Structure 1
């Protein structure tokens, strides 16, 4: 919808043009004004896309009005009306890059053509602007904004309220719905409801809608949801929507985004298929802090390239989560498992040719329920783990494989060289040499690196004290742990933890 302000000191003309605008599809009349000063105030307040403006008016003429707007970086389009054919006016119009210049008396056919031209120009400009904004907003969602983006963020009015909506749908076919088609439909819904500032784009198989500085209250969003649901059912399928909290400014958008996804996964398990985060029946916690220990078990099985054990651990954990944990934790856990499998396949260059990383994670993210989430996970994990099994002999050899598995399962305890040799009946000198020849690392370094890697994961979660983490990764003394951590990373555990506290 293109928003229009009409400015003319002659009442008959401004009201006539106003009626014409209101009767033209795709346009909405915001206001009519009788002089340049009142028009300037209206333009600053209502931010129209198009201003149809007389040149000769009291107080400010049309050229003065355009000049004042351009000085304030107001980028709306202008069309000038004039009963005169003076060269100076035409030259000024060119200087300020007005869209068109129409002589009075106004021919309705010319006015119609001008509106059609304006619709095309403004539509193209908005597409380019929204494309740029969606790129910046996506970086904000992923908290990847660099200093070079700061200027764009300022231009996008970072202190305005924002609210993120996450939409998923399923048309009953094998491949789900056409997300680009749905994105266009969402765009039409928002335009029809006169949302002036919003971003809608595809992200990992979902439709992400960001409402900016507009009515983000529940009853307003309900209208969007009802139209989307009707569309999905018209396609023979269904849809779900998760609604994040309203936040102040772009810097808080990642919070609204995470909450929108948590609400979406909850909505997919409900009959009404729509959920506000603020109404979730539980307190949100970082999923990584919940499944940290279970992921360690999956990683251990992966190190042995044991397909059956990997799949068994994942299934048992998912089944356990379904009983007591919210859906967003299950989705996040399965996505993390898929990422670990992908990374290991990539390291060993055994990725099945039929898989692409983007497709895998889009399908997992957009799974309409936990049952199909598991189906999609297995469609990737089974052939990937099979490929890993086939290279098992290329790595450490059977006995060292058992040691590696034992380390990953027991790094929280005393696993000194003496302990390992006692468990596996190795001669200590022989074991040290064999371990280094097979892994490229001496035993103590291997264990320390593993513990530090696990410590980093726990520190990132922000849910544990340094003393707790020390005990969780096998160090009896938090002071000694801090010393080792600093030697390996260059900073103390608390310093490392502080990097992630405000994210």
Structure 2
């Protein structure tokens, strides 16, 4: 409700003004009156009305002096001046004080009504702009950690493009070196039996333990979750540090992490340590070096105290499969499966295989069955949290048999494409059912809660689907956006109540979730082509 105060030294004018204002129709309420500027000043300070209707000539303090004092105090309400005098100097001063309108007495009902509607629309527009600006500021603050987190992920995986290089951190590390600890959470029967939310809790607990260890050792670091059960822990060192110092420190940190996670969570880890890099642009090489060691014995390393260190240049692990950056490939293909049902998979696979083929003449050719086993293990872990269970689509014996018969890059490419298609076909069937259930739930939820504000974030949380993806699903299923559907439900409910004729317009507006009556009327007219008043006449 818009709060309105009236200041005039003529009590008859005060009474007539209160009777002339269509309070319910414009969604406003009277909050006080005064017969002079000094008392009006105190009234406005206390009640903080949205709109003040004031006379100019009054005893003690005139209307413009009162407005000037309030503007100095940063009062941002709207002023309507009504006066029986036509004074150019007063009018010019009123404009300087940002007065909305200057009305000559006597003021007709129509003129007053039109002036108030203009003021309310202006206030509504300003409020909307301020709200949008505040929401934008809030989003910047809210999303800043996520933006930083995504930037770190693109840097460590090696998917950074030119836009990512505009990030302040890209060129802020002239005096820092970095290395990656590649951490793999071992998939034990204990972890395999728990639900996806519980696995997330385990990962959260592991992250907390790692952060406590590194904070206690006063180390600079960043923690980046990759996919499934894999983590990149980036350690930062001053470039003046001696090689042997950070080498020994990284080994000690890795051992502490392994021991602590085993002790407190009964979870086994494997950690590989990449080479030292002097810039963010090459940090992905350290990630590949860290995980390359762990990939050598994909299924035969039960030890929880297993880690290896690469030399500062990374030459120790510069084999063909490492140069092809398999960790980047795994991330790209898994994200493609999750987000686009494999639409880019064929190109991603072809680019990866083309890189492997560049090293076909080497004395150390890639081991395709090992790469395939590693891919299948990581995909199984990562997609399981999306409720895509690969062992329900393909049997373990089938995968093992197929991998044994892969000897060339072309065979490996064909096998990867075949498996991705099989996963996506299965996923699409489940996704269609899941989407229908989500849309049906949202429709029902909107019909049950249309009287209050409903946000996209709230709906996304209810159905466990990201906001952007949820909008797309709803639009594809219904042909309209979620916001349009909410508005349509509210407008249909409002129309039914208006035709029933038992409630006032502002009461109906509030009952369908609108506190701003003019905005409700505007929305109603846009939806039905007529205003609420025109409907009930």
Give the TM-score normalised by the residue count of structure 2: 0.33
Give the TM-score normalised by the residue count of structure 1: 0.35
Question: RCO higher in 1 or 2 (8 Å CA, sep ≥ 6)?
Answer: 2
